[in-house]
Amino acid sequence: MELYYDLLLESFLKLGPEKPILQGTVFGWVASGKVGSSRPDSTLKLAHVTSTQSLDEQLSRFWEIESCWTTSTQSLEETACENHFAAIVFRDQTGRFVVTLPKRAEILNQLGNSKEIASRRFRALERRFDTNPHLKEAYTVFINEYHQLNHIREISDSEASAPIAYYLPHHGVEKAESTTTKLRVVFDASCRTDTGISLNQALMLGPVIQDDLLSIILRFRMHRYVIIADIEKMFRQIRVHPSDYPLQRILWRFSSSQPLRTFELTTVTCGTASAVGGWIE
């Protein structure tokens, strides 16, 4: 009502007894009131807005404004990815969701050797450790936490002989100004193997399931109070099926005097295409 009278114009017509009243508005004429009926004991009540636009144009515009956004048509791959998720997702005995990676089988079979480049990248990381002891300390804390939370498992040389495996190169990004995570470890699933194929190329991309920005902002006008929260280690709250562990291997050792050790990540990994969709490549 605070805006109602701002919409009215000075034009006003009263058509007579048992007839509607016409009121001019910025949107056109508004007709309201009673309309005589052929039945003496009945009258029709109406409210109608007239406009220079056709009825089809008005209805189209109305639904565009009301809906705010329209869901785009999904691609065949996005549909396949959603069907894959619906078919395989389950919860383990602790209640955590377990998923398998949405793989493109024809490309996955082309994955080559990735251990050699992962080894070179790790030795480059160790050279950074030599010049930056603080980075090594933070990295070690990160790996230990990963292990304590059972988000990673070490495998022996005999277990490493999987038909298809992928070694994720990794490096650290330091954020001194961050109040929570000073070190962010990045897993590079876009690194190509010796056949020129990377893990991300062998994974399907699902549709964007987050609400668009407009819908989020509009919800801020619906309630008096707004609560914003952050899910700790969001990706890692979801486990990966053990059959896909070999596709998420990393190399690590606590000292350069030790032999390289092989670990497998057991949770959804930020850096894989299926986890972060359009952010990758």
Residues 127-155: pLDDT tens digits?
999 999 999 999 999 999 999 999 999 99
Residue 105 reports pLDDT greater than 60: yes
- List the strands of the sheet with 152-155, edge to edge: 152-155, 261-265, 249-252
pLDDT at 69: 57
**Whether 135 contacts 129, CB under 8 Å:** yes
Q: How confident is the model at residue 113 (pLDDT cuts 50, 70, 90)?
A: very high
Residue 280 reports pLDDT greater than 80: no
Neighbouring C-alpha atoms within 13 Å toward the C-beta of 106:
0
Q: How confident is the model at residue 189 (pLDDT cuts 50, 70, 90)?
A: very high
Residue 259 reports pLDDT greater than 60: yes
pLDDT at 131: 93
Calculate the alpha carbon distances from 134 to 137, 169, 172, 187, 261 in Å.
5, 20, 12, 20, 22
**Residue 253: which residues within 8 A CB-CB, separation 6 or more?**
259, 260, 261
Choose between 37 and 256: higher pLDDT.
256
Map out the domains of the chain with their CATH numbers.
4-67 (no CATH), 76-279 (3.10.10.10)
- List the strands of the sheet with 28-36, edge to edge: 8-14, 21-25, 28-36, 43-49
Residue 277 reports pLDDT greater than 60: no
**Residue 176: which residues within 8 A CB-CB, separation 6 or more?**
182
Residue 51 reports pLDDT greater than 80: no
Nearest alpha-carbon partner for 115 in 275, 281, 262: 262
Average pLDDT over every residue of 25-52: 69
Residue 260 reports pLDDT greater than 90: yes
Residue 171 reports pLDDT greater than 90: yes
Q: How confident is the model at residue 278 (pLDDT cuts 50, 70, 90)?
A: very low
DSSP the chain: -TTHHHHEEEEEEE--TTS-EEEEETTEEEEEEEEE-SSTT-EEEEEEE--SS-HHHHHHHHHHHHH---PPPPPHHHHHHHHHHHHH-EE-TTS-EEE---B-HHHHTT----HHHHHHHHHHHHHHHHH-HHHHHHHHHHHHHHHHTTSEEEE-TTTT--SS--B--EEEEE-TT-SS-SEEEEE-TT---TTS--TGGGB--PPP-SPPHHHHHHHTTT-S-------TTSGGGSEEPGGGGGGSEEEE-SSTTSPPEEEEE-B--BTBHHHHGGG--
- The residue assigned the tokens 């495996």 is 165
pLDDT at 157: 84
Q: How confident is the model at residue 71 (pLDDT cuts 50, 70, 90)?
A: low
Token pair belonging to 172:
């650290």
In whole angstroms, what is the distance from residue 56 CA to residue 63 CA?
11
pLDDT at 208: 79
